[in-house]
Amino acid sequence: MAPLGILIIVATTIFPAFQLWALPNVSDQVALFSQYLGLAALILMAWGQILATRLPGIETVFGGLDRVYVLHKWAGIVAMAAILLHDTIDAEMRDGGRDTFLSELAETLGEMSLYGLLILVVISVATFVPYHLWKWTHKAMGALFAAGVFHFVFIMKPFAMGDPAGLYTGTFCGAGVLAYLWTLLPETLRPSKGYKISGLDKSGGALVVSMVPKGKGITPAAGQFGVLSFGAAGKSEPHPFSFSSIDPDGALRVTIKALGDFTTGLERDLAVGQDLRIQGPFGRFRLGEKAREVWIAGGIGITPFLAGAQALRAEGSVVDLFYCIRSRDAAPHLAELQAMAEAKPNLRLHLMVSSEGQRVSADKIAEMVGEDLAKARVAFCGPVALREALRTGLARYGVSARQFHYEEFEFRTGIGLQRLAAWVLRRGLEVSRQARGS
Q: Any idea what the CATH number is for the domain that residue 180 is in?
A: 1.20.120
Which range, of 237-251, 302-316, 416-430, averages the lowest pLDDT?
416-430
SS3 state at 67:
helix
One domain, residues 32 and 146: yes
Judge whether 154 lies within some domain: yes
Which of 167, 185, 203 finishes a domain? 185
pTM of the model: 0.76
Q: Looking at 128-132, 187-191, 330-334, 422-426, which range is the least confident one? A: 422-426
3-state helix, strand, coil in the chain (%, to 5): 50, 15, 35
CATH of the domain at 329: 3.40.50.80
**Which residues partner with 277 through β-bridges?**
194, 229
User: For the CA atoms of the chain, what is the radius of gyration?
Assistant: 25
Of 158, 185, 212, the residue at which a domain comes to its end is 185
pLDDT for res 423: 47
Same domain for 245 and 259?
yes
Residue 430, in any domain of the structure? no
The CA distance from 310 to 186, in Å, is 35
Q: Shortest CA distance to 260 belongs to which of 381, 382, 354, 132? A: 132
Domain encompassing residue 390: 293-421
* Shared-domain flag, residues 15 and 77: yes
Q: 147: which residues sit within 8 A by CB, 6+ positions away?
A: 109, 110, 112, 113, 116
Check pLDDT > 80 for residue 333: yes
Res. 57 pLDDT band, cuts 50 70 90:
confident
300, 262: one domain: no
Specify if 435 maps to a domain: no
In this prediction, residue 264 carries a pLDDT of 78
Query: Is there a single domain that holds both residue 34 and residue 93?
Result: yes
Shared domain for 278 and 305, answered yes or no, is no
Instruction: Using pLDDT thresholds of 50, 70 and 90, give the confidence band for residue 95.
Output: low
Q: Check whether residue 210 and residue 257 sit in a common domain.
A: yes
Report yes or no on 16 lying in a domain: yes
Residue 437, domain member (yes or no): no
User: Which secondary-structure segment (H or E) carries 28?
Assistant: none
In this model, does residue 417 exceed pLDDT 50?
no
Alpha-carbon distance of 242 to 92, in angstroms, equals 51
- Reported confidence tier of residue 420, pLDDT bands at 50, 70, 90: very low
Whether residue 357 is found in the same domain as residue 309: yes
Q: 310 lies in a domain?
A: yes
Q: Which of 282, 314, 338 is the last residue before a domain boundary?
A: 282
Q: What is the CATH number of the domain that holds 261?
A: 2.40.30.10
Tally of domains within the chain: 3
Residues 141 and 54 in one domain: yes
In a domain, 76, yes or no: yes
Q: Would you say residue 304 lies in a domain? A: yes
pLDDT at 129: 56
Q: Which pLDDT score, from 0 to 100, does residue 113 have?
A: 79
**Do you find a cis peptide bond into 281, omega within 30 degrees of 0?**
yes
Give, as one character, the DSSP assignment of residue 301: G
Task: Give yes or no: residues 10 and 60 share one domain.
Answer: yes
What rounded mean pLDDT belongs to the chain? 83
